[in-house]
Amino acid sequence: MSVPIAKSIKVALLQFYAGSDKIANLSKAKEYFLKALKKEPDLDLLVLPECFNSPYAVDQFHNYCERIPGGETTNMLSKFARENSINIIGGSFPELGEDGNVYNTSLTFNKSGEIVAKHRKVHLFDIDIPGKMTFKESASLHSGNKATVFDLEGLGKFGLAICYDIRFPELAMIASRRGAGVMCYPGAFNTVTGPKFWTKFGVARAIDNQNYVILCSPARNPNGGYQAYGHSMVVDPNGDVLIEAGHGEEIVYAELDPQVEIDARTSIPLSSQRRFDIYKDVSKDAVTSAL
């Protein structure tokens, strides 16, 4: 059963685009961290977009992948979290697994700089929209095999997934029923799928589970290449969009109020009205992990 967040959570979503220089991308992330903390020094959580250290291109992921732990991206995020005593959901970046495969992976760090969650994208984005776009992540990426649920000390439980994972409601259902009050999706929907689906999925997952949903996207890249939709947002447990970015580079801020979750679940008590005598509770046999 989902549990309300433990306190009001102040969060910043960092929307920027990544170029071809990995070190420059990491420097940009750090620059946005500092901007956010300068404006809102009492932030609890920083959230990065999908593929924030590399271009989002199936033929480039292997060129930017790194080991976890020990890679420069992991080290930078850990160091910043520790030195600034801030929680970070580190978007995603290409990981070189011990099996030699490349994964689209998201790491979460606590205030001590420790990795408290690792999610490998479960559902790979393989689509073909006639006359508009064809994209096949499975050409260079392997999929993860676990739903991710974790604790952030003092804040409560979170669920974590990546982009196309949002189309599959089971991951959010599992996280919610394992106690998560927030579901976070770093994602890079494009300018074809974004206008049609991005907001709808964020609202749907929030209403389904009566929890907060965070969507953090890259900004559109004026230099060409893959064009992300942008529009990073936070949706509350009633399906109301609390804050929404445009499509350019910016930082947006929101405060997640636990009372909103409590009121939503009290007024419409979904958790006690589900009929698991008729249909299966997907969380019962789910394979879950924080790391």
Q: Is 35 a catalytic residue?
A: no
Catalytic annotation, pick one of 22, 28, 50, 65: 50
Catalytic annotation, pick one of 51, 163, 184, 216: 163
Q: Is 65 a catalytic residue?
A: no
Q: Is 50 a catalytic residue?
A: yes
Catalytic annotation, pick one of 22, 28, 121, 157: 121
CA–CA gap between residue 147 and residue 290 (Å, rounded): 8
234: left (phi over 0), alpha (psi -120 to 50) or beta: beta
Residues serving a catalytic function are 50, 121, 163
